[in-house]
Amino acid sequence: MKVLANDGISPAGNEKLEAHGFTVDTEKVAQDQLAQHIKDHQVAVLLVRSATKVRQELIDAVEGTLKFIGRGGVGLDNIDVDYARDKGIIVQNTPAASTRSVAELVMAHLSGMTRYLYAANQQMPLEGEQKFKELKKSYSAGTELQGKTLGIIGFGRIGQEVAKIALGYGMQVVVSDPQIDKATVSLAFFDGRSLDFEIATQPMDSLLAESDFITLHVGGAGKALVGKSEIEKMKDGAAIINTSRGGMVEEEALMDALDSGKLSHAALDVFDNEPTPAMKVLMSPHTSLSPHIGAATLEAQDRIGVELADHIIEKLG
């Protein structure tokens, strides 16, 4: 049975599939040639990440050939899931595999912003030799995370993992999620001990008012969750992090808030117009940016590949 990993698959996932008799092709097929390729090569399993789109037109074209669509990662925005399932095609993602990777990126951005590391890393090679003292003065107004309040909007797997790390930093954690009343997060230590924290959710308005930093972990696309009115309710000098979906924060309102000093910083791993983010966002001295790499660690890729392989073997092996 043939598998087309159009957006790639980890060696561990590839090896597991081949050990169970599947033939895995990792050649990248252009979107407009994908349907013909699947039919010509009798591809039963299509594996994608965010680059390849699986819409109704493609699903119709490969009906009877394609049996399984696997999405490496959490979101399924690039797949017409219900339509595919109505046609008898299995659709499966890997919601847990990248949880830790995204959570650690959130904290990396947060630490970098509060200590001006992104700016210092740019300026030190350019001016470090001649203006060391001036740079030291410029970047000595950083703040510590311990004792600060982190607001988490969306308290599913990733939100709860962020909470664990933040608690380890000594931060206060407040959360808002209309689907969850409360959740218990377990902070595990290297020696096998653990501490449980029961965290109750609260209205979003109170989270906005209380938080020194806010991070978004919500699924889906559509209307922005944080716009001008929500920003106005935030603390002066607060910062926001979005590693969830482009469009969850209104970028124009965000840039205005950064320019005016209402917000101090913003960290973005996702953007309105990927893969061509707005130049104003890219050039702002108040933004910490990464190119949609939340789930992209070596460990996460291994977990994603193996998890997809397990699903395929279970359903089709």
Residues with a known catalytic role: 245, 274, 292
Q: Which of 278, 276, 275 lies closest to 266, judged by CA?
A: 278
Residues 6+ apart with CB under 8 A from 163: 150, 152, 155, 173, 175, 185, 197, 199
Query: Exposure string (b/e) for 231-244, b if CB count within 10 Å is 16 or more?
Result: beebbeebbbbbbb
| Longest Cα separation, the chain | 68
ω into 203 cis (within 30 of 0)? no
Separation between Cα atoms, residue 28 and residue 98, nearest integer Å: 23
Separation between Cα atoms, residue 215 and residue 235, nearest integer Å: 14
- Phi, psi angle pair for 226, to nearest 5°: -125, 115
Pairing of strands 182-188, 263-268: unpaired
